[in-house]
Amino acid sequence: MATHETQKPVLLGGLADEAANQKTAMQQFCAFAALGLRYYTLRFIDAGAGIQNVMQLEPAAIEHILAMQREYGLSVSSIGSPIGKVKLIDAEDGTTNRYVSFEEYLARDVRRACELANSFDCKLIRGFSFYHPRGSGPESHLQQAIDQIGEIVRVCDQHGLTYGLEVEANLVGQTGKLLAKIHEAVANPALVLVFDGANLVCQGMSTDQVFEEYQAMKAGMGWIHVKDYKRPAVRSSHVDEESLRAFVPADLGDCGHEAIFRDIKRSYAEIHERLTRRGLPGLFVDLEPHVKGGGQFGGFSGPDGFGVALRGLCKVLDYVGLPYSLREFEDIRPDLASSSH
């Protein structure tokens, strides 16, 4: 494990539902505690009422999850909400994406996500940049997306929260350069960007192109999702997310995580200082491996696949010398650990 006295470690975590076969709270928390992780992103979970998206959780389920995560020594890093994964315009475009009037969406869904984040004492909400009509160019819908995202960010900021826009295919912010334009136009420190290299590679981008998109996002980067992908032969303007099958650990794909993390290491002092100004503990590096399959609203790795993906990520971080930390003996038995020195 990489450790350096002069540099704060990045904070490892992940979307915990990916590590659980039936997505129960106990399965998720057992897997993450055993892997040595301290943080998790809450997305899908069975807290006794069947599998639910975080947005559907009732007060009793919230209290149950909070009690269990304390038992397993875990904290929520971000709410893995689906905010922004709806149509920007009420137009038939051959997709199954739903449309909700923005006023209703802002008053109901966005405020609900903020309430959940505060219930779980986390500062981050993951979201997206809206689906433009299939067959149209995202640039022609950029201003409407900017206006609506600006309103979402304003509500998040009122709740003391930071909204993270994830780069993903088929959305207005499907590239790092487009997300950078949104970030610059919104001009609110409560908006950050979430880099995910596999979401670029699956669009047909090369390793060099992925690095260019990362560089475009870097000034606004708030945290990172880590999964990797084997580059498809053909680049497509619309990605069938349910057909994606070539997800791999971070040390085996075409994202170029080595160069990205090497660059983060060089810039980490500035990144860390910018994030701590927002009340965040540092840069979260969240695993979302999808190594057993992925889709539009989630993916799956299983406890074994998640472990393989974590070890692959740690190999890359160790190779570039970017420090991170996992639970050690002194964390679980400080009485014995201290007496051994």
The pLDDT of 95-122, averaged and rounded, is 97
Q: Provide the pLDDT for residue 335.
A: 86
CA atoms within 13 A on the CB side of 115: 14
Q: How far apart are the first and last CA of the chain?
A: 20
Q: Provide the pLDDT for residue 296.
A: 67
d(CA 228, CA 310): 12
pTM for the predicted model, two decimal places: 0.93
Is 95's pLDDT higher than 80?
A: yes
Q: Provide the pLDDT for residue 246.
A: 86
Instruction: Kindly report the average pLDDT of the chain as a whole number.
Output: 93
Angle at 223 between CA 221 and CA 226, to 5 degrees: 120
Q: Provide the pLDDT for residue 243.
A: 62
Proportion of the chain in helix, strand, coil states, percent, rounded to 5? 45, 15, 40
d(CA 146, CA 296): 22
Q: Provide the pLDDT for residue 1.
A: 45
The pLDDT of 281-310, averaged and rounded, is 90
What pLDDT digit, counting tens, does each position of 168-210 carry?
A: 999 999 999 999 999 999 999 999 999 999 999 999 999 999 9
- Tell me the pLDDT band of 3, cut-offs 50, 70 and 90: very low
- In the chain the domains, ranked by start, together with CATH numbers, are 11-327 (3.20.20.150)
Is 276's pLDDT higher than 60?
A: yes
**DSSP string covering 178-234:** HHHHHHHHH--TTEEEEEETHHHHTTT--HHHHHHHHHHHGGGEEEEEE-EEPPPSS
What pLDDT digit, counting tens, does each position of 231-261 carry?
A: 875 566 677 666 677 899 999 999 999 999 9
DSSP 8-class letter at 39: E
Answer whether 148's CB lies under 8 Å from 100's CB.
no
* Neighbouring residues of 103: CB distance < 8 A, sequence distance ≥ 6: none
315 token code pair: 């190999």
